Chains A and B, each alone.
Chain A
Amino acid sequence: MLEAKGLTVGYTATPVFEDLSVSFEPGKITGIIGPNGAGKSTLIKAILDLIKKQAGDVKLDGQEVSKVRQKTAYVEQRANLDMSFPINVFDVVLTGTYGRLGLFKSPGAKEKAAATDALEQLKLSEFKKRQISELSGGQLQRVFVARAVVQQADVVILDEPFVGIDMKSEADIMEILKLWRDQGKTIIVIHHDLNKVSAYFDDLVIMNHGIVAAGPVDEVYTRENIGHAFSADLGNVLFEDKGEA
C-alpha cells in the first residue's frame, strides 16, 4: 500500500494543495483526474520525492518512499525530454537498469537481455537502433513504458501516457498496465480523457487543489464529483446519457 499523509506542497507562498492524504492499493490501476493546474503532476512528484514537501510523508508498505526508490518507476511526460539527444531506443530502455545497478557499474549481458525482452514485449524490436526523434508519439511512449518494464518496480506511476499517441499504442500500453495489475503492482495514471475512465481504471482519484473524491471508480465517478472538480456543465454533459440525474 502506497500512502501519502498530510502533504502540503507549494512552489511559491500559496501551496498547490494543503494537508492532502491519499492512498493507492496494490493490484489496482488508479486514475488521477482533475482540471489543468489541479496539482496532479505535483502530487505524483511529491509522492516520488522529486520535489520539496512543506509537510507530510509518503510511505510504501510502511517505508519512506525516498528510501525505497528502486521499488518505484516513473514514466514522465514525454514533452519534457530532449528529443535530439544522441541516444537510440535500446539505450533508453537500458537506462531502466541503472537504478538497480548502482553507482558506476555498467550494464552487462543480463541487463541487455532484460532490455531486449522489454522491447519485444512492447513490439519495438525493429526500432531498437533508431534515434528517439525518429519515432512516432506512440512508439516513443512505448519506449518509456518498456523502460519501466525493465525497472521491475512494485509501483509504476505514469503522467499523461496517452496524450498524442495512436490507438494501437494506447491499447498495447493498457495491456501492459493490466498485466502489471494482475501481478499485484500498484499502477497510478494521470489521465485527462474522461471518456475512458470507467474502461481503464479500477480506482479513481479526482483532484482540484486537494482531493475531491477517491475510491472505486463506480462510486467516485459521478456527476456530482465531476461537477465539483471541473464544472457543473461538464458533469451534466458526461452523465447525460446515463440517467444519473
Chain B
Amino acid sequence: MAEQKHKLEIFRGRLKFKSNVQKIWGVLVFLSIVTAVEVALGIIKPPVLLNYFLGVKILNWLFIIMTIIKAYYITWDFMHVRDEKPFLKNTIVVPLLILIPFLLFILLYEGSYIFDIMFDGLKTWNFDIY
C-alpha cells in the first residue's frame, strides 16, 4: 500500500503539489475561499445579481455553481476519486449525473405548475374572511 500512486495536480494540471499532504492543504485553502465568497455574496447580496436568469436569480445560480465546484473537489481529492480507475469513476458519477437532474427537473417543474394553478386558477384556496 505504501507505494500507492497519487495524482498531485489540480486545476487541470495548472497547480502541481509536491506531496499528497500538501495537496490536501491546498484543496482546503481553495474550499475555504469558495465558502468565504459564498457567505460574502449571501450577506452583501449585490443588486446586480438579483436579476433573474432562466427563472432563477443570478446569485442563486452562482451559489449552485460554487456548490458543485466544492462537491467536485471534495469527491476528487478528499475521497480520492482522482486516483481511481476510470471505470470506477464512471460507476460512481454517471448514475448520479443521470438521476439527480432528472428528479430535479420533474419535481421543480411540477412545483411551479402547482403554484401557477393555485395562483391564477378559478377557485379560491384561501377562505379568509375578506
A and B pair up: no
